[in-house]
Chains A and B, each alone.
Chain A
Amino acid sequence: MKNRFLSIRKVLLHTVVLLAMMQILLGAAWAVLNLGRLPGFRETEELLQIADTMTTDEYVGILYPVFIRIAGLLEKLFHVPYYGFLYLLQLAVGCYALLKVLEGFRYRFWMALAVMTIPTVNQLFLAVLPQSLAASALLLCLCHCRKGDLPKGAVCWLLAGLLLPEYFLFCAVIFVVCLIGCGLRESRVWSRTFVKGIIGMLSVCLLAGVVNGFAVERYSRGRMARTPEAAILQRFVWPHFSDTYYFWRNEIKEVFTEDDMVEISRYPEGPMYQFGPELERVYGLDTARDYYLGMARITLRIRTKEVLKDVGRDFIQYAFPPVALVNNLRGRGVSYSGWNYGHMLGENGKLTQCYVFYACNAFLAVLLLVCCCGILSFAAGKGEKIGKRKKSDSLVLSLLLLSLGLTLWYTLSGAGIQDYKNVMPVSMAWGILMAEPFFGRKEGA
């Protein structure tokens, strides 16, 4: 009986390999055909503007515009489009990061390719956007910190934070948890590793503070200040600015008429670009933050069902990006996927269509196969073997917690702006997690 289970498991494993191979082929073909193309994301336009002025706000990191500038200089030297250099950098760093995370795994090169060719990942390697470099830095930070190499982890933390400001917090959590873990493991508070970690942490905070002190200027891009209350406003109040107008404080009504609120409700970025900056200008940031919380409480009280439904839907879409993408493309769900997919099409519409639908559907198929394999392994009594693979278990746990953290963060960042580009590490984590049961580290690795 046990052998039968193991034979079936082997068949499923081979099937997963074949499905992954097809994805790698399609993904590689798509990547080659799109190496020379610059997708017209509006974020790219903003980054180019920041590269000119070298001034940003709390929403966009300064490091990627620096890379754009360097790529621009290389373009003048070598007469190759600047984005070519960025794509090569992103692909190389992404590949390196995945190989590092997958150290000790069997067939890690193929696994890395399989992860890189997930459509919601692949697209971002070939776009002038900071997400791929930031995701790579985040994974490297996780990898180095888990191994106890805290100085390298600190460097990756700094880079990730300067690419995407919110990654500063994600990496900080990883770093601090691993630092505490090091301290406990070594049983001495002031062990060398622990001291290096503290120095690394302080250096990162200092350097980030200095760099951002020069480069970051609040309101320079016309956006409201980035505060937890601003996120709560965008998440829980939009789009109900107009239909809940009656309940707003008089101070808010003095600044915004009902027609103004109708206009703000028309765009998910209405709070960020229209409502917030004006309210903060009139009443100051501290008072505005209080007002945001008040508005959120009122909206949650009056529009509880609508708001919670939207939050739940966004959470699921962020948690399973490839599945959500294909669902959105069928006309279900609410997200920016249509816009992102439109940017992916380019000149090779038919290949893109086959690739995206195949890969996203196959993602779900592989997930189901992995679950079946897990059940079969357990039924075949491989439980004792799984228990010995402790290092793989901690990687799995780290990736799951990281994915949960990212999903929660972006879910609570705003309504009507669900965008799979934000959760590239979640897509990558899923790729690794699904391959881990088959190709995870051998015992003792």
Chain B
Amino acid sequence: MKLWGGLTKGENTGLSWGISVLLAAVIMIVCIAEVPVMGIARPQEEYSVVLLGDSIIGNIFEGEGIPAYLEEQLGKKVLGGGFGGTSATNEERIQQPYSVKDQLNLVKLSEAIVNQDFAAQKAQIAYGEHYRYFINETLEYFPDTIRNLSDADFDKVEYLVIEHGTNDYNRGTRLDNPEDPYDETTFGGALRTSLELLQNAYPDVKIILMTPTWCCIRWEGITQNCDNTDFGGGYLEDYANLEIEIAKECGVYLLDNYHDSGICQETQDQYLVDGLHLNLNGEVLLASRLADKIREIENSRNEEQ
């Protein structure tokens, strides 16, 4: 070809090309080094348990947070990967370029975990952090959390815990799409899509779905209980029941906080700060329940072996 012919005129062309190939190879390696999929800059941090979810996992009001208590109880390294205000669903139609939470829903995070590519999330969080005072979509811990997630080696993770539902409920997200069980704009579709992605990429990881806890939304003096308020998609119990179904469908473990945790209207002051988020007792309670579940799974697996 002309290109090669033109460039190969002159003396010492072979040597020149040889050095160029070496130099180009070095530059290519440097250029691609930060891409984890190339195996050069692989994630280094090893966690036994990773928690994904919303503010129930991410926000800390009184105690030290569920991840810290769980780590204490299990003696295993735990990563808290919750982002306050996020949901499971991927509402493509309402995505705005300045919206941080559109990149932090369960579907997008699952894709990021599978591809080991959190670049979109990092860029959006950087944007949200710069305008945090005005846009108010990020919380202080978002940059650290996304960095920890991107540094985590998911090949070494034993348990992946997913806790979503509350924000899908209070946004009135559609529960399911009978015509398309993998419709990411529905709660059920988002869960199925995420579970399928994660199970295919990490077949050895034990996934635990955690149903949301009972809550009430307090806004401008009005209190709306989750068991008698429908924001458009159903009651919170409907979302919890769908999660139970999907856990059976997809063959993942389930921890039913909605029905079994003991957090309800009568006990809300004992476990909740504002009717929605967990106080110290609530964090310890959920961490204990999760630790018990993990031990149960390990015991049953030991018995099987």
Report which A residues bind B (CB closer than 8 A). Answer: 7, 10-15, 17-19, 22, 40, 42, 106-107, 110, 239, 242-243, 265-268, 328-342, 345, 349-350, 353-354, 356-358, 361-362, 365, 416-417, 419
- Tell which of B16, B31, B95, B133 touches A42, judged by Cβ atoms closer than 8 Å: B95
Residues of A within 8 A of B92 (CB): 40
User: Which of B115-123, B205-213, B217-225 makes up part of the contact surface?
Assistant: B115-123
Contact for B136 among A15, A266, A328, A332, CB less than 8 A: A266
CB-CB nearest 3 A-B residue pairs:
A338-B123, A14-B20, A331-B122
Task: Give the CA-CA distance A243 to B102 in the complex, in Å.
Answer: 27
**Contact indicator B6/A338 (Cβ below 8 Å):** no
Chain A: minimal CB distance from B146 (Å): 8
A242 touching B134, Cβ below 8 Å: yes
Please indicate the chain B residues that have their CB under 8 angstroms from the CB of A340 in the complex: 97
| Residues on the B chain within 8 Å of A342, using CB | 103, 108, 120
B28 touches A331 (CB 8 A): no
The reply to whether B126 and A332 form a contact with Cβ atoms under 8 Å apart is: yes
Question: Given contacts A110-B3, A353-B115, A354-B38, are A18 and B24 in contact (CB under 8 A)?
Answer: yes
Question: Cα distance A416–B121 when bound, in Å?
Answer: 17
Residues of B within 8 Å of A362, CB to CB, are 27-28, 31
Q: Which residues of B contact A332 (CB under 8 A)?
A: 126
List residues of chain B with CB within 8 A of the CB of A15: 20, 23-24, 27
How distant is B126 from chain A, measured CB to nearest CB, in Å?
5
The reply to whether B20 and A339 contact each other, CB–CB distance below 8 Å, is no
What's the nearest-Cβ distance from chain B to residue A269, in Å?
8
The reply on B305 being an interface residue by CB < 8 A is no
* Cβ-defined contact, A329 with B38, below 8 A: no
B35, A357: Cβ atoms under 8 Å?
yes
Instruction: Tell me the nearest residue of chain A to B12, going by C-beta.
Output: A7
Taking each of B108, B111, B122, which has the highest tally of chain A beta carbons within 10 Å of its own beta carbon?
A: B122
Report the separation of the CA atoms of residues A12 and B16 in the bound assembly, to the nearest whole angstrom: 9
Q: How far is the CA of A301 from the CA of B120 in the complex (A)?
A: 35
A340 to B98 alpha-carbon distance, docked (Å): 11
Bound Cα distance from A243 to B127, whole angstroms = 19
Flag whether B34 is at the interface (Cβ < 8 A): yes
Report the bound CA distance from A19 to B103 in whole Å.
32
Interface contacts beyond A329-B122, A357-B31, A365-B27: sample of 8 additional A-B pairs, CB < 8 Å, sorted by A: A13-B20, A266-B134, A331-B126, A339-B96, A339-B102, A339-B103, A353-B37, A354-B37
**Contact status A19-B3, CB under 8 Å:** no
B135 at the interface (CB under 8 A from A): yes
Task: Please measure, in the bound complex, the distance between the C-alpha atom of A329 and the C-alpha atom of B125, giving whole angstroms.
Answer: 10
Chain B contacts for A243, CB-based, 8 A:
133
In the complex, whether B141 has a CB less than 8 A from a CB of chain A is: no
**Chain A residues, Cβ within 8 Å of B111:** 345, 349
* From B2, B16, B92, residue with most partner A Cβ within 10 Å: B16
Q: A265 — which chain B residues lie within 8 A by C-beta?
A: 134
Q: A106-B6, A266-B135, A338-B103 are in contact. Are A350 and B19 (CB under 8 A)?
A: no
